[in-house]
Copies of this chain bind each other. A is one copy, B any other.
């Protein structure tokens, strides 16, 4: 069975050595002293490693079943969900007014990473619920909030998001689901939604579906979409459960991975729904939750990469095969462990440097969300909006790559299902697709976020890189290994952005054809900045002569690897982008 050790030491480094959260001016952060965060992270880690992780393979093997309209989750899921609930984890960063614990989103992201790493399919049940909570919290009336939120916070009821229809995925304007107004102010919802994660199951008393639909007579396309609350079971004004609503599960999808999550075809046959937010403003309501939701998927890329990496390391230490070229390192054994081999090291360093860099980037984004939500800081909101498509796209692309590389360390033993490495790759694959496929993230970045507020946020990002380099230019330890590669990478990013700006009016396809590479280029600079900051923080700690010097030395060496071997990709990505759209668009559609 795969192992999982919660990366709480690394999280503590980020929170306290790098970000020094307890001294932040964000309301609530003053409570985040090391003793408190370590207690929370340790508890979450324990639940993840001891309860959720052992169920991961079970979920994959058994999957969910649909019989007579009833969906059942794999053995053990219900008990584990009860433990998650009882520990208060489902409402960790929810509003205390509705029963939440009011913790920062930052802490929710940290615990979320561990839950995902331990059991991604399982954690989606609470993840979707959190999304529904956020939507109702942001757009519900006081009565709606009072009615629905408390039991979403506790996960007594879980939530779903219903966007996709068979012919309508990325292009939601094509949606056909109808919402017909009723005399009592409610709506009758009719239509079919597909790919509905956690669409039905046996772990909660009710399911609160958030459904996008069109009110007849409204505007065409995405401007005519409204958002509705559609419960599985009707709830009266006292909160008591009543009759079943006209909602049913048409089928369970058979998927490449996340078998433990019930991905449903949902049929709404005149089901009763309640408008959430304004009429025809459903897309806007979805967008306000998007940063959180997409960060959550970026966390999936990170979390599953972490657990895959941990298992690759364990296998590389234990599997004896071949001898180090520089002389036997296990002379008394029949062979040396895999980890002596430079090509295995290459793979492990690639994995490790991604995971730790992505975690730093995730924590930064979560902190920006807290700053935006708790302080109404528009600059933080703008910066995180810029970073989110990068985090979602890059962390899920590279997160999947890491699972594949970790699987490769196992050789043939990674291809058979017994060791769990295949499941990591199969599960990780979905994160590149849902919550906006990564191509859409790239378009969001280049088509929307770059120019947002007059390009203010991307300029602020560039300034941040420039300032860091300037502030540290006297630091000889950082200079060659960190500052110079970062500077060069940032120059590539700026040049690419400039290229897009110059061709935007005349040749819009240039930016669209280069968007995907730009997203990854941005990711390298963002993760590179994280590594430079982490190296600086580690050097500062080392100067103080800490007990665990090895931890900080490892941190710096891992960063050096990233700067030497990963960040040089920026020049290639820039070259691709600057080749323009012509090589990409040259063929007639018929010529493929």
- CB contacts (< 8 Å) of A304 on chain B: these are none
Which A317-331 residues have a C-beta within 8 angstroms of B?
A: 317, 320-322, 325-326
- CB contacts (< 8 Å) of A317 on chain B: these are 589, 592
Which A574-591 residues have a C-beta within 8 angstroms of B?
A: 575-576, 579, 581-589, 591
Q: Which of B346, B408, B509, B550 contacts A513 (CB 8 A)?
A: B346
Q: Which of B164, B254, B411, B560 contacts A583 (CB 8 A)?
A: B560
Q: Which of B426, B437, B515, B591 contacts A426 (CB 8 A)?
A: B426
Instruction: Tell me, yes or no, whether A335 is within 8 Å of chain B by CB.
Output: yes
Do B516 and A554 touch across chains, with their CB atoms under 8 A apart? Answer: no
- CB contacts (< 8 Å) of A416 on chain B: these are 195, 253-256, 263
Instruction: Tell me, yes or no, whether A561 is within 8 Å of chain B by CB.
Output: yes
Q: Which of B174, B254, B415 contacts A430 (CB 8 A)?
A: B415
Do A434 and B412 touch across chains, with their CB atoms under 8 A apart? Answer: yes
Do B174 and A326 touch across chains, with their CB atoms under 8 A apart? Answer: no
Instruction: Known A414-B433, A509-B342; judge A169-B321 contact (CB<8 A).
Output: yes
Instruction: Tell me, yes or no, whether A438 is within 8 Å of chain B by CB.
Output: yes
Do A584 and B513 touch across chains, with their CB atoms under 8 A apart? Answer: no
Instruction: Known A335-B174, A412-B164, A412-B195; judge A345-B585 contact (CB<8 A).
Output: yes
- CB contacts (< 8 Å) of A241 on chain B: these are none
Which A248-269 residues have a C-beta within 8 angstroms of B?
A: 253-257, 263
Residue of B nearest to A429 (CB): B415
- CB contacts (< 8 Å) of A257 on chain B: these are 415
- CB contacts (< 8 Å) of A418 on chain B: these are 253-254
Do A343 and B415 touch across chains, with their CB atoms under 8 A apart? Answer: no
Instruction: Tell me, yes or no, whether A359 is within 8 Å of chain B by CB.
Output: no
Q: Which of B168, B170, B320 contacts A167 (CB 8 A)?
A: B320
Instruction: Known A411-B433, A416-B254, A586-B560; judge A313-B346 contact (CB<8 A).
Output: no
Q: Which of B167, B256, B321, B554 contacts A417 (CB 8 A)?
A: B256
Please, how many angstroms separate the alpha-carbon atoms of A561 and B592 in the complex? 13
Please, how many angstroms separate the alpha-carbon atoms of A174 and B319 in the complex? 12
Q: How far is the CB of A487 from chain B (nearest CB, A)?
A: 15
Do A589 and B512 touch across chains, with their CB atoms under 8 A apart? Answer: no
Q: How far is the CB of A75 from chain B (nearest CB, A)?
A: 18
Instruction: Tell me, yes or no, whether A460 is within 8 Å of chain B by CB.
Output: no
Do B408 and A433 touch across chains, with their CB atoms under 8 A apart? Answer: yes
- CB contacts (< 8 Å) of A362 on chain B: these are none
Do A325 and B587 touch across chains, with their CB atoms under 8 A apart? Answer: no
Q: Which of B169, B408, B429, B557 contacts A437 (CB 8 A)?
A: B408
Q: How far is the CB of A230 from chain B (nearest CB, A)?
A: 21
Instruction: Tell me, yes or no, whether A104 is within 8 Å of chain B by CB.
Output: no
Listed stretches A148-156, A277-285, A529-537, A565-573; interface member? A565-573
Do B589 and A337 touch across chains, with their CB atoms under 8 A apart? Answer: yes
Do B342 and A584 touch across chains, with their CB atoms under 8 A apart? Answer: yes
Q: Which of B342, B344, B425, B554 contacts A591 (CB 8 A)?
A: B554
Do A343 and B515 touch across chains, with their CB atoms under 8 A apart? Answer: yes
Listed stretches A32-40, A47-55, A88-96, A347-355; interface member? A347-355
Instruction: Tell me, yes or no, whether A442 is within 8 Å of chain B by CB.
Output: yes
Task: List residues of A whose CB falls within 8 A of some B CB.
Answer: 164, 167-171, 173-174, 194-195, 253-257, 263, 313, 316-317, 320-322, 325-326, 334-335, 337, 339-349, 352, 400, 404, 407-408, 411-418, 422, 425-426, 429-430, 432-434, 437-439, 442-443, 508-509, 512-513, 515-516, 550, 554, 557-558, 560-561, 564-565, 568-569, 571-572, 575-576, 579, 581-589, 591-592
Query: 14 extra interchain contacts, Cβ-Cβ under 8 A, other than A171-B335, A352-B592, A571-B572?
Result: A254-B417, A254-B418, A255-B422, A257-B415, A316-B592, A342-B585, A343-B443, A347-B516, A411-B437, A550-B588, A565-B576, A565-B583, A565-B584, A568-B575
Q: List 13 A-B contacts (CB under 8 A).
A: A171-B335, A174-B335, A194-B412, A253-B416, A254-B418, A255-B422, A256-B415, A339-B589, A411-B437, A557-B587, A561-B583, A565-B576, A568-B572
